[in-house]
Amino acid sequence: MSLDIEQISNLPLDGIFLLSTWQLNFQELAGQCRGNDCKLNEACMPRGTDYYCVPLPMKLSENITQLRPRDCSDLPQGSCSGVYTIYPSDETFDVYCDMDTAGFGWTVFQSRMNGSVDFFKEWIDYEIGFGDLKSEFWLGNKFINLLTSSGTYNIYIHLEDFEGNSRYAEYSEFSVGDATTNYTLNVTGYSGTAGDSLMSTVDNNIYNQNGMMFSTKDKDNDRSSRSCALTFQGAWWYNDCHYSNLNGAYFIGKHSSKADGINWGTWKEFHYSLKSTKMMIKRHKEPF
């Protein structure tokens, strides 16, 4: 399909929304418009193997921010899993969108699969993110906060062991506070097959991670007399200390040390490190 700017300007806004996934200034566009540098009030128009930028009519420029995806759930139905650019606020950044594991539209903020990335990192690393969006990564606490402060989100945690078994934990509400709260975790509403390791009630809730601040090896915000991050080789919302440790050391299944691997206590307890994990969120859609 090829339309000129006059034809675009005459489209109704619902048609513009559908068209926007191919013609307008979206970083997730395929083809020559992917990664374009057109301004917010310009359309990217393919031309041969290149593109050019055309000023948008007023009715488009006024509505263009509504056409940009706030997260992966705003992408067009039928979009494939992969890296896309999203616009949850004034900041724009790339994320990995999972359209296969648990249905359409999940924004992934943590992925572990092979131990290729060292997760025993410092505060600044976890704040801004690290790794490869197509492999192992942590999106960054500041970006998780930007996302979860822009709406109501649920979280889906996919877990897999080295024997090919998988489990999941889903929570109906999930958010992470901003830097002034040390990226405090807020989570509620468990369902799933892996057991609830984020809100464990074992030993009078000393492992319950809901309401906990984030801790790393160089910034101890937990409730323990020791540094949980240093002790358990990770970075997490530790209490005193944990029932889950998905940013722990990458071991191959069973390990002699206790609770310092990629552990989910309610499934594999604390001497078994998981093969892969994926933490991803989806926004509750507002009613029309």
Give residue 261's pLDDT: 98
H/E element, 190: strand 185-192
| C-alpha closest to that of 95 among 27, 174, 17, 151 | 27
**Which residues have CB under 8 Å from 80's CB, separation 6+?**
99
Rounded to whole angstroms, the Cα distance separating 200 from 222 reads 16
| C-alpha closest to that of 111 among 85, 83, 92, 90 | 83
Q: Where are the beta strands (DSSP E) in 21-165?
A: 42-47, 50-55, 82-86, 93-98, 106-112, 130-131, 137-138, 153-160
Q: pTM for the full model? A: 0.80
Please tell me which residue, 105 or 51, carries the higher pLDDT value. 105
Environment class of residue 281 by beta-carbon count within 10 Å: exposed (0-12), middle (13-18) or buried (19+)? buried
Q: Calculate what percentage of the chain has a pLDDT beyond 90.
A: 68
pLDDT band at 20 (very low <50, low <70, confident <90, very high): very low
Rounded to whole angstroms, the Cα distance separating 211 from 221 reads 12
The domains of the chain are located at 5-67, 72-283
Which pair of structure tokens corresponds to residue 153?
């989100």
Does the pLDDT at position 154 exceed 80?
Answer: yes
Dump pLDDT digits (tens) for 161-187: 999 999 999 999 999 999 999 999 999
Give residue 31's pLDDT: 59
CATH superfamily for 72-283 is Gamma Fibrinogen, chain A, domain 1 (3.90.215.10)
Dump pLDDT digits (tens) for 87-130: 888 788 999 999 999 999 999 999 999 999 999 999 999 999 99
3-state helix, strand, coil in the chain (%, to 5): 20, 30, 50
Give residue 77's pLDDT: 86
Residue 256 corresponds to which amino acid? S
